[in-house]
Structure 1
């Protein structure tokens, strides 16, 4: 690529030629260009795209008078990258500007580090405004810029003669004056931002009506904060009552998040209609001034609608997910183009296009073209605007970040009807046929391996071509602090095992299996006890027995073992292993202190269960299943069986539970013998900490290994570095050490913001008569990703 000076000279010569051509006669004056960019407006948020709730008569009219694109895309699932691509014709990956600015700080819990990207639109980039400015156009940016915090990177430095309200801010403090926006004076009390920006745009158009102009009008609407004019909001509150189907139908849990399914948010709707009204004002002014016939008007959005976070104001259904995600709801956007005498009224284009295309299209429309010295990624859409076809080509996306809306680093490619998504954390792929599955519900990756490989190779080759920055591994830096010498939970004369902890108010309640220290075999005598402490690390005082085995024909007649405590919908649930059935049951109580009501029979066909109850009451869990050992065919003896972890699900806490795996070849997480799983979910992924029985994962016998999974089916080892091994003595906070024969049964404590702040384990000392105890390790840097 040419250097900055050479590129500027080439552009200047090209544009000078363009200027001479344009000025040769008045009739050859290039068209005015108006780009209206909505913020966070979803694909289905306009009447002409299928919305039945939002009223957008002016944009619907624009579509009737021009061309509507059904398969238009933003070049990123968040705002700043799309804006940069529109203005430069380059993909965000090539620009190294791939997230909103200044970007989301890396979290210690992430599996990957985001790359260090550009902090602004680089001064070396040639923008659309610079090209048209040199060709004699008056240029204005009115509204959101969001391409750099420092004024050196604001619109004035990128070819705009006039700019208002543009800075590094991505959203206003308020839609009502005072706005607290740089480059925008406050108006009278009650003035609405979208109205004010349109006033400024109209002023620019009137002042420059005698010469060609570029008006870039990036509204802040409909980005949060959600604030609307009272009359419109009242109108939609009344209308919303007829659109709501009740919370259970208005929202659906998808991708670990609550996703709006119905468009019925009155404030958001009022913001959409107000924006539409202001588009109508601008279109009417162009007509009044006699500029309508010679003005190219483009309307689009910077990313998909916000449907998975920040109040989930809109629904993108039938598209999946929304802003921050690679699914169609996150990147497919409305695109309407009106250019009288070029675009046919009411025409529709079904060819896939992307925001990067607008740069080359506009230059071609005004007669400038490009000189080939720039690495442009977009296509010229003029053939499509004239009713022709765009040759089939792949469209690419690259997002090496974690989004505020729940998305993770990914890449994607669409070619024809096929779309492939590759998740960077584990290189897992998804393949969808958008022709038959617009909602991306059926992943065909396993059915079409050759197509997956072809699309994946294209994606990887494109990344190399544009020098895309990739996320890097966030190594497991797990470090457990030293437990208190007198902390944890111990009971003289007894063994304590299988810890599970819950916080109620300012008190921590630790549940454990218990049996006499004279008998290390728990299977015939264990029962469940509870300890309490005001300090997470202990010491825990014995608070009483929870329950013992029930004599008679019960699944827990001989032993109650391995308790797991959870809270859901106002009640406490205690899962536990029942012996002799070697299956798991559940007890329920209104209080963490009991009394507990046990089910008569077991409900989970696995032992040592670890479960996660989702907000809707559905349950995902894992547990140990005994499998016949080929070395001992037909044997049912405990020590002669193999022990594998299998997953299960249920629609409710009491089941019925369905096993998702059976047999050795489908065991979690890697077909090796493992046991003692603990499980939790962070809204996006499942996390599992377990005992690596034979060191297959970490290289250390009976070490603790850590895995994650998005779907609960395929688990990935985070690091071969074990969190903990049985090869070292335990060092306590006071500096003393104790050698334990074994440390098993890992569990974790999640604080109220979802962070892992302690790891619990059962330790058996060398002198077994002292009794096994529960150790509570404080977390210093547990994984940095938990």
Structure 2
């Protein structure tokens, strides 16, 4: 492939709220490195996560598809199913497709798409992996829980390793090192997936607190000051990575993307939205998102509606790479909008979440939302806080979106416990994609 292909760095935060960065409205502390990145690139105002929880969004990111197509992508089953589920190694992924197009690939940080020996980054397109396989680890002990008997969840490839230090800092060091050591013979794709600012509530100077925890969930700990330190450490680590690009003189033709896997949790700032992680209100789904590519994309504030699964087709588009025809993405490339060759356009996006029987559709400015037995219709452009329920004033729109969700859902795996005992193999599940992909309404077609 051409040596002019851009390098790509995809930085993923964990449980970062929409307004947790000062460039997005945080006024209790500063995030200067991310603010600078936003000022030099694209700041999105209507970017969504594919899910209101962690691993489900990661399935969408790496496959470019709705996560509900695979058993592992059903809302957070990985936390309770041991080693049974994960990303099938035969499934095409963003790193495997970029590798086929001439890239070297690395994941530094959180995987959370299935455990060894059946699943892992090196089985799904990454040439190198350093990080944790599971969902959350302590920032200092690097263990997935509390107790002397537990081993750290920290690996180089598939081999356990030990490191000393605050995990966010370690990942920043590793990311910067990877950039400095890249040869330039091939473009690189670096996934830098932090665990910050996910609990436990431990800042970079709180090692003593970390080692005295009785519960990794840390329900009785944390406060806004500690949370600020966690986010600022994340910002500093991003600064390390962008500084390494400057040192190498490769920042101009490197795409840097920063976003979060879902909305924030208890100490996050989601203003002006309501809701948080695990909720399909805007606060659980709307995420801060920044992209910088000086060689091709001018600085801008971008109102284009986008979602996590768009990054696979968008980045393949930027790299001159192709999707796998047998696994068509549900996401869409937004590169033409970012370069100015196409105007922004409305989208149709779908979500569901087992807890509280939640479901949602965003179609144009409209959003249909169901929580338990309560149903709503919002104009989320005019009513960002989702307060004015218009279902009775706009009954046709309400019914249409409700029907759209039912139609879309019929092509997803069932969101219940039956799937875990059904014995359906992951490769058979993937076959469900093609009919649904063909019947989707053409991109940009408005509701009315």
TM score, norm. by length of structure 2: 0.82
Contact 1:154 1:166 (8 Å CA) reproduced: no
CA apart distance, 1:203? 1.9
Distance (whole Å) between structure 1 residues aligned to residue 54 and residue 295 of structure 2: 32
Unaligned runs of 5+ in 1: 1-18, 23-27, 106-116, 233-262, 307-311, 403-407, 474-786
Contact 1:101 1:120 (8 Å CA) reproduced: no
Question: Does residue 163 of the first structure (1) align with residue 129 of the second (2)?
Answer: yes
CA apart distance, 1:327? 0.2
Task: Give the match for residue 393 of structure 2.
Answer: 447
Please state whether the residue corresponding to 2:262 is helix, strand or coil.
coil
Distance (whole Å) between structure 1 residues aligned to residue 380 and residue 90 of structure 2: 38
CA apart distance, 1:390? 3.5
CA apart distance, 1:291? 1.0
Distance (whole Å) between structure 2 residues aligned to residue 389 and residue 439 of structure 1: 26
Name the count of aligned residue pairs: 390
Per residue, is there more helix in 1 or in 2? 2
Task: Give the match for residue 266 of structure 1.
Answer: 225
Call closer, same or farther: CA 1:286–1:67 in 2, change over 3 Å.
same
Question: Does residue 84 of the first structure (1) align with residue 59 of the second (2)?
Answer: yes
Q: Deviations over 1:539-571 (max 9, x none)?
A: xxxxxxxxxxxxxxxxxxxxxxxxxxxxxxxxx
Distance (whole Å) between structure 1 residues aligned to residue 111 and residue 201 of structure 2: 19
Distance (whole Å) between structure 2 residues aligned to residue 199 and residue 356 of structure 1: 28
CA apart distance, 1:459? 1.1
Task: Map 1:659-670 to 2 at 5 A.
Answer: none
Task: Map 1:209-608 to 2 at 5 A.
Answer: 209-210=183-184, 211-230=186-205, 265-306=224-265, 312-345=266-299, 347-387=300-340, 388-399=342-353, 401-402=354-355, 408-423=356-371, 425-426=372-373, 428-464=374-410, 466-471=411-416
Contact 2:97 2:322 (8 Å CA) reproduced: no
Contact 2:142 2:167 (8 Å CA) reproduced: no
CA apart distance, 1:217? 0.4
Task: Give the match for residue 181 of structure 1.
Answer: 153
CA apart distance, 1:177? 4.3
Question: Does residue 128 of the first structure (1) align with residue 94 of the second (2)?
Answer: yes
Please state whether the residue corresponding to 2:301 is helix, strand or coil.
strand
Unaligned runs of 5+ in 2: 144-151, 208-221, 419-448
Task: Map 1:104-123 to 2 at 5 A.
Answer: 119-123=85-89
Call closer, same or farther: CA 1:372–1:392 in 2, change over 3 Å.
farther
Contact 1:53 1:264 (8 Å CA) reproduced: no
Distance (whole Å) between structure 2 residues aligned to residue 135 and residue 472 of structure 1: 39
Distance (whole Å) between structure 2 residues aligned to residue 178 and residue 460 of structure 1: 42
Please state whether the residue corresponding to 1:419 is helix, strand or coil.
strand
Contact 2:104 2:188 (8 Å CA) reproduced: yes
Contact 2:107 2:192 (8 Å CA) reproduced: yes
Distance (whole Å) between structure 2 residues aligned to residue 176 and residue 363 of structure 1: 36
Distance (whole Å) between structure 2 residues aligned to residue 89 and residue 63 of structure 1: 24
Call closer, same or farther: CA 1:178–1:321 in 2, change over 3 Å.
closer
Contact 2:18 2:271 (8 Å CA) reproduced: no
Call closer, same or farther: CA 1:227–1:467 in 2, change over 3 Å.
same
Distance (whole Å) between structure 2 residues aligned to residue 65 and residue 160 of structure 1: 29
Higher relative CO (CA 8 A, sep ≥ 6), structure 1 or 2? 2
Please state whether the residue corresponding to 1:292 is helix, strand or coil.
coil
Please state whether the residue corresponding to 1:321 is helix, strand or coil.
coil
Please state whether the residue corresponding to 2:351 is helix, strand or coil.
strand
Distance (whole Å) between structure 1 residues aligned to residue 33 and residue 62 of structure 2: 25
Distance (whole Å) between structure 2 residues aligned to residue 384 and residue 104 of structure 1: 40
Q: Deviations over 1:35-58 (max 9, x none)?
A: 000000011111111111131111
Please state whether the residue corresponding to 2:252 is helix, strand or coil.
helix
Of 39, 46, 58, 1:71 maps to 46
CA apart distance, 1:363? 0.3
- Which range moves more in the overlay, 145-154 or 282-291? 145-154
Contact 2:54 2:76 (8 Å CA) reproduced: yes
Please state whether the residue corresponding to 2:118 is helix, strand or coil.
helix
Distance (whole Å) between structure 1 residues aligned to residue 139 and residue 154 of structure 2: 14
Call closer, same or farther: CA 1:278–1:470 in 2, change over 3 Å.
closer
Distance (whole Å) between structure 1 residues aligned to residue 22 and residue 269 of structure 2: 14
TM score, norm. by length of structure 1: 0.48
CA apart distance, 1:441? 1.7
Contact 1:94 1:467 (8 Å CA) reproduced: yes
Larger Rg: 1 or 2?
Answer: 1
Task: Give the match for residue 151 of structure 1.
Answer: 117
Cα RMSD of the aligned pairs, angstroms, is 2.4
Contact 1:85 1:355 (8 Å CA) reproduced: yes
Q: Deviations over 1:327-381 (max 9, x none)?
A: 0010100110101122212x01112100000000000000013253323100101
Q: Deviations over 1:363-404 (max 9, x none)?
A: 0000013253323100101012113423322111122x22xx
CA apart distance, 1:264? 7.1
Task: Map 1:89-100 to 2 at 5 A.
Answer: 89-96=64-71, 97-100=73-76
Task: Give the match for residue 666 of structure 1.
Answer: none
Please state whether the residue corresponding to 1:165 is helix, strand or coil.
strand
Contact 1:138 1:208 (8 Å CA) reproduced: no
Of 90, 94, 103, 1:137 maps to 103
Q: Deviations over 1:114-149 (max 9, x none)?
A: xxx982112231001111112221111000111112
Distance (whole Å) between structure 2 residues aligned to residue 200 and residue 472 of structure 1: 39
Call closer, same or farther: CA 1:292–1:209 in 2, change over 3 Å.
farther
Task: Give the match for residue 667 of structure 1.
Answer: none
